[in-house]
Structure 1
Amino acid sequence: MHGIEEVIVGRQGSAGLIRLNRPQALNSLTLPMIRAIASALSDFAADPSIASAIVSGEGERAFCAGGDIRLLHESGKRGSAEAETFWREEFRLNHAIANYPKPYVALMDGITMGGGVGLSCHGSHRVVTERTRLAMPETGIGYFPDVGATWLLPRAPGESGTWMGLSGHAIHAADAIHSRLADHCVASSDLPALIETICALPIATSADDVHRVISGMAFPAGESRLAANRDMIDRALAYDAVEDIQEALGQEAGDFAAETSQMISTRSPTSLKLTLKLLRAGRKSASLAECLNRELGACLGILYNPDFFEGVRAAVIDKDRNPKWSPASLAEVDIVAIDRFFVPPRPPLFEE
């Protein structure tokens, strides 16, 4: 094996292996990690002796808990270009994964959030386990679901993606499969055997061959809570204004609706309105690239949004879990302030 400390790159049999190696930080992504992953995937794609790529996280707690929020926070405070560079390279990596020419197997064992979703859910073969906790929790830090989530979430059944994006609530394996963010559930204890089996496949391996191997080791993920509450979710979260969604949730019976409403009420009002508008725009978009470019523009706007700095302070720096949002209510969020997030980035993320 060779590679930089935070990403271990190697090969076994016919597979190229990428292992995120920051277990103490829940394998959160740094810019050098993004560059190492992108380089490895490019090398694997060009190597005729490699049939597939397998991406996993070291340690038992997480596949990848997201991007390096502290770096983005510090870059924004300083007014440096680091945050923009990080987002540009991360989003290009997300796009490369979605268009990868060989089977791309993501082992989403443990916490899979934010940037971890971008590393996995755009792939061709997405494996969850009984330990998977998947979320796009960004509204809780004054941010919004990025890494192409505004393409993925609107393509989940009904309004389940809207529920994920606004609430930021973590979901388990069955919900991930229901939401079309994962394909198979395999026991975490079986992952080493799964890797061995894929690595032993011949060089002429196809996506169908990899699918058969994974499905042969998969087991039913159980009941999806999102599927069980699908009718309520589709009714209450169909609106294009967060205030209307909250009002609709308040009229629904049952603990799930009350829990959803309560969770949304703790999130940044600005982030909620921005997220909903991005999700609705993503639903009408023709491509992932279009969504990623729009997200990059919103990212650059986030660096001027006080809620992002306050959210990261409360969650990561002081860890008091008590952010003071500004403005503090949905009614106070100026629609013009939301429109500022929709300025296209220059240069665009992809060649036009």
Structure 2
Amino acid sequence: MSDVIAQIEGRIGCITLNRPKALNALSLDMVRSLTQALLAWQDDPQVLAVAVRGTGKEGPFGAFCAGGDIRFFHQAAHAGDASLGDFFTEEYRLNHLIHTYSKPYIAFMDGIVMGGGMGISQGASVRVVTERTKMAMPETNIGLFPDVGGGYFLSRCPGRLGEYLGLTGQMLNGAQAVAAKLADIALPSGMLEPIWQTLISSPFENAESVERWVLAQAGAMAPEKLIPQPQIDEVFGLPSIAQMLQKLEFASDEWSQKTAHALRHRSPLMLHVVLEQIRRARQMSLADDLRMERDMVHHCFHLRAVGDSDTVEGIRALAVDKDHSPNWKPARVEEVDAAEAARFFASPWPSDHHPLRDLS
């Protein structure tokens, strides 16, 4: 059975991510299969809209996508495998295609939606979440940054929520994702299968009616604001990571202490990089943000020798040796060299040779 099942049912292009043992983590082949299906359906008059879901251990739904295949990143980095670069170039192209797709694209974000899973769902015209949704951009935990357009969509969250989510990797439930503007409707997970079946069996008149019907579902859960939003805005609006930590560590309330603890365990170098990424992206188009992120991810694997890369080390600690004790270089936020963090934003390619030069 393929890791991506793409077929037309009725008037709907149906995509099911089918790699449940890996929580539907994206491989290069899966990125290519998704791209191929979307390009084929873009001009197919039979297809009014596209619906995408993941498979859990019990069958369809229950899990969406846990991100990119980070074990492959680790292996490829050590082997000097060029397909690592191809993965990011093609994944970011796919993210752009979804954001700019000419037909409704409906993402059923049930269960885990992280990293690359956000990349294939945030550009959807309808983003459906449930009470089982666990949404996060936890990349600083592995010495990476919230890529796949993360700079673009996080920077457009209310207030300073984008900085908070991108730096800490804080997880959101479905109702919180709606309040954070990272989902459109939160529905009970038991409704997803009947909705899917109705989508593929109904004689919808046009694309708009498909979208309208999904958004009009009764039983939606009310958005749940993140507590404490004013505190998030105050702390994560500060100019630097060091100032944020100082404010958090000086405070005695539980949220401040937990947040400071989370930041102290992330890659200090990447915290500096991510803060700059999100703040730059606020003024950028999606295409420019993806070009910037393609530069950044190149530097994650090539700015230092493989053995000294925080990204390679972070993946080792979390997913390879699983000792959860990454040896970050430097070990503390206060020791990060600002000049090194700035190098992540210098493109290794002249603009006319950039791998994503044609995105608009």
Shorter-chain TM-score bucket reads: over 0.9
TM-score under structure 1 normalisation? 0.94
- Please, which of 307, 327, 336 is the counterpart of residue 333 of structure 1? 336
Paired residues of 2:130 and 2:187 also in contact (CA < 8 A): yes
- Residues in 1 aligned to 2:21 and 2:298: alpha-carbon distance in whole angstroms: 29
**Percent of matched pairs sharing the same residue:** 39
SS in 1 for 2:203: coil
SS in 1 for 2:344: helix
Q: Match of 1:34?
A: 31
Return the offset for 1:309.
1.2
Return the offset for 1:25.
0.3
- Matched to 1:242, the amino acid is I
Matches within 5 A, 1:309-348: 309-346=312-349, 347-348=353-354
Cα displacement string for residues 116-172 of structure 1 (whole angstroms, at most 9, x for unaligned residues): 000101111000011100000000001100000000001000011111000012111
| Deviation larger for 109-118 or 73-82 | 73-82
In the comparison of the two structures, how many residue pairs are matched?
346
Q: Match of 2:266?
A: 267
Paired residues of 1:240 and 1:276 also in contact (CA < 8 A): no
Q: Match of 2:2?
A: 5
Q: Match of 1:190?
A: 191
Return the offset for 1:251.
4.2
- Matched to 2:358, the amino acid is E
Q: Which runs of 4+ in 1 moved over 6 A?
A: none
Matches within 5 A, 1:1-352: 5-59=2-56, 61-202=62-203, 204-207=205-208, 209-221=210-222, 223-224=224-225, 226=226, 228-252=227-251, 254-285=253-284, 287-304=285-302, 305=304, 306-346=309-349, 347-348=353-354, 349-351=356-358
Return the offset for 1:79.
1.9
- Matched to 2:286, the amino acid is L
How has the CA–CA distance of structure 1 residues 229 and 22 changed in structure 2, closer, same or farther, with 3 Å as cutoff? Answer: same
Cα displacement string for residues 170-216 of structure 1 (whole angstroms, at most 9, x for unaligned residues): 11112211111100011111111111222234353233542333332
- Residues in 2 aligned to 1:207 and 1:166: alpha-carbon distance in whole angstroms: 37
Return the offset for 1:223.
2.8
How has the CA–CA distance of structure 1 residues 34 and 261 changed in structure 2, closer, same or farther, with 3 Å as cutoff? Answer: same
- Matched to 1:44, the amino acid is W
TM-score under structure 2 normalisation? 0.92
| Deviation larger for 322-331 or 53-62 | 53-62
- Residues in 1 aligned to 2:39 and 2:161: alpha-carbon distance in whole angstroms: 34
Structure 2, gaps ≥5 residues long: none
| Deviation larger for 134-143 or 171-180 | 171-180
**RMSD across aligned positions (CA):** 1.6
Paired residues of 1:72 and 1:82 also in contact (CA < 8 A): no
- Matched to 2:33, the amino acid is A
Structure 1, gaps ≥5 residues long: none
- Residues in 2 aligned to 1:124 and 1:345: alpha-carbon distance in whole angstroms: 33
Return the offset for 1:351.
2.1
- Matched to 1:247, the amino acid is Q
- Residues in 1 aligned to 2:219 and 2:184: alpha-carbon distance in whole angstroms: 10
Paired residues of 2:130 and 2:186 also in contact (CA < 8 A): yes
- Residues in 2 aligned to 1:131 and 1:205: alpha-carbon distance in whole angstroms: 31
Paired residues of 2:138 and 2:146 also in contact (CA < 8 A): yes
Paired residues of 2:179 and 2:224 also in contact (CA < 8 A): no
Paired residues of 1:139 and 1:271 also in contact (CA < 8 A): yes
- Matched to 1:67, the amino acid is G
SS in 2 for 1:54: strand
How has the CA–CA distance of structure 1 residues 231 and 252 changed in structure 2, closer, same or farther, with 3 Å as cutoff? Answer: farther
- Matched to 2:5, the amino acid is I
- Matched to 2:342, the amino acid is D
- Residues in 1 aligned to 2:84 and 2:168: alpha-carbon distance in whole angstroms: 25
- Residues in 2 aligned to 1:33 and 1:180: alpha-carbon distance in whole angstroms: 27
